[in-house]
Structure 1
């Protein structure tokens, strides 16, 4: 794989010149796509499955029982029983949250496919408009939901849910603002941050399944999962952003840049 191909996969600009020794090396293309698929495929199905609430109403939460029973996770039944009354109390918030975040989770990963941006830019724009609208609406509804119907673990859980809702909303709003300003480089960075928070919907469910199979009482540790499903995502997003900046600017990923060193007397 050429340097130019690797750079395009990560969304960085390429000058076509030979890479310096201190510039971070590109990851193999197969690895990039493997990571993308590992995030995109489960996110797509989880997001699409969340849209069932639009057709089934609050009772759609009961459909989770059959899914988790197939995974031999019968302990999830108690959680479903606790959520159903809350969903019935505020169905409108449920619809907006499920429709918004479900849509954003299902389509968000496709915004980072270079071929779509290069060859079908109108498709990229259309997906982006839908994603931003869905993420803004879904995160706002989710944050209100957490305050109106607090999660069982208590205030720490409420803060965690409001936290991820706030970061998702603010990061998406910043991405939209940068797009309007024509600052496409920073627009891309804010959208990476936004999708990292949208992915909390995937990482939360993966953590719940992992806890159950590990024999951990995940229901009692739900608060831990609520924090761990989005804070590490944000850290990884910042690492990816710094990596892209280093490649774009021809600077080392770790340590000061050659330009910074040149200013030291």
Structure 2
């Protein structure tokens, strides 16, 4: 059973790695195709809100691309300086794209419910990431790991949003109905699953030591 648990955990991790990298790379399709073709559902932001739009769609994929590498223990152990520099780049990418995403939330064309969903996502994303940075700088590494997990769950919303959006389109759902639901569904379940994992793990390991990174 222990071997099966380790295998499933490893498989789940690599699914996250592969999907994160693929979505991050695919996000840059707006470079050759243009935003109107590649991301028509946010193209309205080109009229008067283009700086926030490009800050978000160009920088958020960097956070998504770097996120899985923060959990590779081999990299953290053998090349701690690389881990720290990639972590700093991840934090910077989240802060820039999160602030831009917060501004974009107030320009959505799908109503107040979607605005609140995306605005909260942006705020909590930046908050959890800065929390992870704070605990790393103060060498509270157990808490750092918990908070970077919370941040990663919200970074992964970039993947789940595309899954739900593609599924809703395939099912023929009306965009104006589906998108406000997706604005919450893309991140709330992620956050709850990670929080449940953290609680259960901490219950199993109540004396978890503050290991040095």
Give the whole-Å Cα distance in 2 for the aligned partners of 1:40 and 1:124.
Answer: 16
In the TM superposition, 1:70-109 aligns within 5 A as: 80=40, 83-109=42-68
Question: Once superposed, what is the RMSD of the aligned Cα atoms?
Answer: 2.3
Deviation at 1:142, TM superposition (A): 0.5
Offset from partner CA, 1:209-230 (integer Å, 9 cap, x none): 2223344335521111111111
Q: Which segment is superposed worse, 205-214 or 173-182?
A: 205-214
Matched, 1:139 2:98: yes
Of residues 132, 142, 145, the one that matches 1:175 is 132
Candidates 198, 202, 205, aligned match of 1:245: 202
Change (3 A) 1:208 1:143: same
Structure 1: gaps of 5 or more residues: 2-24, 65-79, 252-265
Q: Which structure has more helix as a fraction of its residues? A: 2
Q: Which has the higher contact order (CA 8 A, sep 6+)?
A: 1
Work out whether 1:121 is the aligned partner of 2:80.
yes
TM-score (norm 1): 0.71
- Give the Å deviation of 1:56: 5.2
Name which of 14, 37, 46 aligns with 1:62. Answer: 37
In our comparison, the structure showing a higher alpha carbon Rg is 1
Q: Are residues 27 and 207 of structure 1, via their aligned partners in 2, closer, same or farther at CA, if it must alter by over 3 Å?
A: same
107-116 or 86-95, larger mean C-alpha shift = 86-95
Q: For the structure 1 residues 85 and 210, does the alpha-carbon distance in structure 2 shift closer, same or farther, using more than 3 Å as the test? A: closer
Q: Is the 8 A contact 1:100 1:139 kept in 2?
A: no
Corresponding pairs, count:
208
